[in-house]
């Protein structure tokens, strides 16, 4: 069974600085998707970034980028130029690329990010 | 447009009440999901509908009854709930394509905060 681990329950960053959130996963599959979701205090889960495992190039969305290391099964999220609005719980998630009823999003336990002014 | 709407935002109910949660999306997605989320925990999958048919029931107690009247609407009927059912209930949707119906990004609604007295 696949697992997702986020080893940092809480992190803090100064406004305008850069922070990296770590995520590791365990799978025997070769084709899958990885996601970072953000859940601010308003509680809506928002997709931050998505990575397909078959792509070697790291995904980037504006100030958000990932460092995807397939061999190491690592998928970290880098937030550049941190803003107060980035304060949220961040969940890393895994999903197999194989369809079917057993295919589910597998979430990590989350990292609570605080942004200091 | 990646909007999923949920009503009501907040719901307080007694253990003998019957209530319903509503989720709606107009993105043409054919897979819809119900999740339950406790504070500071990742979402837990409850149900998945694909093409208006129930595809996954994660052994959820029968006091939760899902319904998918059409491709845009998903309901969760609640009856005889327990205080431990108090949580944030999240709806999500994604595109569906045959047997690979879960192989796509899920977009979440803002959730319904449920309190059972």
Q: Which two tokens stand for residue B106?
A: 């899920």
Is A104 within 8 Å of B45 when comparing Cβ atoms? Answer: yes
Confidence of residue A14 (pLDDT cuts 50, 70, 90): very high
Q: What is the mean pLDDT of residues A56-60?
A: 91
Confidence of residue A103 (pLDDT cuts 50, 70, 90): low
**How many CA atoms lie less than 13 Å away from A40 in the CB half-sphere?**
10
Tell me the pLDDT tens digit for each residue of B26-71.
Answer: 998 888 999 999 998 999 999 999 889 998 899 999 999 999 999 8
Confidence of residue A48 (pLDDT cuts 50, 70, 90): very high
What pLDDT does residue A89 have?
97
Q: Decide: A33 and A94 in contact? Cβ < 8 Å.
A: yes
The owner of tokens 């295919």 is A103
**A114 part of contact set with chain B, CB < 8 Å:** no
**Is A61's pLDDT higher than 90?**
yes
Which chain A residues touch B87 with a CB distance below 8 Å?
Answer: none
What pLDDT does residue B31 have?
87
Q: Decide: A39 and A91 in contact? Cβ < 8 Å.
A: yes
A9 SS3 class: coil
* A68–chain B nearest CA distance, Å: 18
Of B43, B90, B102, Cβ closest to residue A103: B102
Q: What is the mean pLDDT of residues A81-98?
A: 93
Q: What is the mean pLDDT of residues B6-22?
A: 95
Is B90 within 8 Å of A45 when comparing Cβ atoms? Answer: yes
* A57–chain B nearest CA distance, Å: 19
CA-CA distance, B18 to B90, in Å (whole number)? 19
What pLDDT does residue B1 have?
55
Q: Decide: B34 and B46 in contact? Cβ < 8 Å.
A: yes
What pLDDT does residue A101 have?
47
Chain B residue with minimum CA distance to A34: B105
Q: What is the mean pLDDT of residues A21-39?
A: 94
Is A104 within 8 Å of B56 when comparing Cβ atoms? Answer: yes
Is B43 within 8 Å of A95 when comparing Cβ atoms? Answer: no
Buried b (16+ CB within 10 A) or exposed e, B64-91: bebebeebbebbbebeebeeebbbbbbb
Mutate to test the interface with A, among B27, B31, B32, B103 (most CBs of A within 10 A): B103
B50 SS3 class: strand
Question: What is the DSSP secondary-structure string of B7-25?
Answer: E-SEEEE-TT-EEEEEEEE
């Amino acid at each position: 069974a696949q697992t997702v681990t986020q080893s940092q329950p809480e992190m803090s960053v100064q406004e305008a600085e850069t922070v990296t959130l770590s995520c590791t996963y365990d799978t025997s599959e070769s084709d899958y998707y990885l996601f970072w979701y953000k859940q601010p205090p308003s509680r809506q889960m928002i997709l931050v970034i998505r990575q397909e495992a078959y792509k070697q190039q790291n995904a980037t969305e504006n100030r958000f980028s990932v460092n995807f290391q397939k061999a190491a099964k690592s998928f970290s999220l880098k937030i550049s130029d941190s803003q107060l609005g980035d304060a949220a719980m961040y969940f890393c998630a895994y999903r197999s690329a194989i369809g079917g009823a057993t295919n589910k999003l597998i979430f990590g336990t989350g990292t609570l990010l605080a942004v200091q002014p | 447009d990646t909007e999923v709407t949920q009503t009501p935002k907040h719901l307080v109910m007694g253990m003998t009440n019957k209530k319903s949660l509503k989720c709606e999306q107009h993105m043409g997605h054919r897979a819809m999901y119900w999740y339950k989320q406790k504070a500071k925990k990742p979402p837990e999958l409850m149900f998945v509908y694909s093409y208006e048919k129930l595809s996954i029931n994660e052994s959820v107690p029968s006091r939760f009854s899902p319904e998918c009247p059409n491709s845009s609407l998903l309901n969760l009927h609640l009856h005889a709930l327990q205080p431990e059912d108090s949580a944030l209930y999240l709806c999500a949707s994604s595109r569906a394509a045959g047997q690979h119906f879960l192989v796509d990004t899920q977009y979440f609604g803002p959730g319904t905060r449920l309190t059972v007295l």
